[in-house]
Amino acid sequence: MRKPFIAGNWKMHKTVEESTALVKAFREALGDFSGCDVAVCPAFPALAAVRGALTDSAIGLGAQNMHWETQGAFTGEVSPLMLQGLCDYVIIGHSERRTLFGETDDMVNQKLHAAFDYGLKPILCVGENLEQNKAGETEAFVGGQVRAALKGITAEQARQITIAYEPIWAIGTGVPATGEDANRIIGQTVRGTLANLYDDDLAQTVRVQYGGSVKPDNAAEFMSQPEIDGALVGGASLKASDFAAIVKATLENR
């Protein structure tokens, strides 16, 4: 049985003070919970403060990105060594990183290796754009992204990865995929590729989230799908009550 995992990607929102206030409000709205993993991913400047606000909480903490090198002349970048001990998770290869900041499959692969070198649990994002979707290229493209990202990743490491299937056309648009379509891509393409690369058992072990316009009112549709193990939530994670409602919907629909 895979344990559901709900992560909130705050993107470039919230100052340090606002982040602390948000995580406190979320903690309160959620209360005690069990049966799923939950994490918030604030911007870098807020990581330490949010970590402080999460003392004695079961809510995990993640970064939204990182470089793959340990240190060096990479102005503006943050290394895995700097994140080690500060957070538990790191989002890797988000489509905004890929499309707006030129992240390639090869960079995503290097970041994945670096995450394991420093004991960070990666959330690997994959997903097709609208053109690819309309052209019927989703399976080939998403399968290719998974394959490229996992180059040289051992089975033991792969089991610890969370993959977020996030169709780009659904991110921030208010137009989510249907639960059925997301379930099919995750089952056939994401798990299918994992089975090809490793084996069936591993493909059934890896947690795969859906992401893209997940809200309290559609969360149940995704969480009740057998192949979907949670969500990567953007916009709705910025409102404590909404994000708590999504976690609750997950627990009620597993």
User: Would you tell me which residues interact with ligand PGA (CB under 6 A)?
Assistant: 9, 166, 171-172, 211-214, 232-236
User: Which of 21, 56, 12, 59 lies closest to 40 in space, CA to CA?
Assistant: 59
Assigned token pair, 201: 């058992």
Q: Which 8-state DSSP code applies to residue 84?
A: B
**Which residue has the closest beta carbon to ligand PGA?**
234
CA 50 to chain centre: 18
DSSP notation for 148-201? HHTTT--HHHHTT-EEEE--GGGTTTS-PPPHHHHHHIIIIIIHHHHHHHS-HH
Residue nearer to ligand PGA on the CB measure, 80 or 127: 127
Q: What's the rounded Cα separation, in Å, for the pair 153 and 75? A: 28
Q: Write down the least CB distance from residue 51 to ligand PGA, Å.
A: 21
Cα–Cα dist 251/254, whole Å: 6
Q: What angle do CA 190, 79, 57 make, to 5 degrees?
A: 70
- Which residues form the catalytic set? 94, 166
From the CB of 115, what's the least distance to ligand PGA, in Å? 17
Q: Which is nearer to ligand PGA, 198 or 237 (CB)?
A: 237
Tokens of 200: 């069936």
**Least distance between ligand PGA and beta carbon 235 (Å):** 3
| Identity of the residue, 41 or 198, whose beta carbon is nearer to ligand PGA in the bound complex | 41
Q: Which two tokens stand for residue 77?
A: 């970048």
By beta-carbon proximity to ligand PGA, the closer residue of 6 and 153 is 6
Residue 119 contacts residue 127 (beta carbons within 8 Å): no
Q: Shortest approach of ligand PGA to residue 231 CB, angstroms?
A: 8
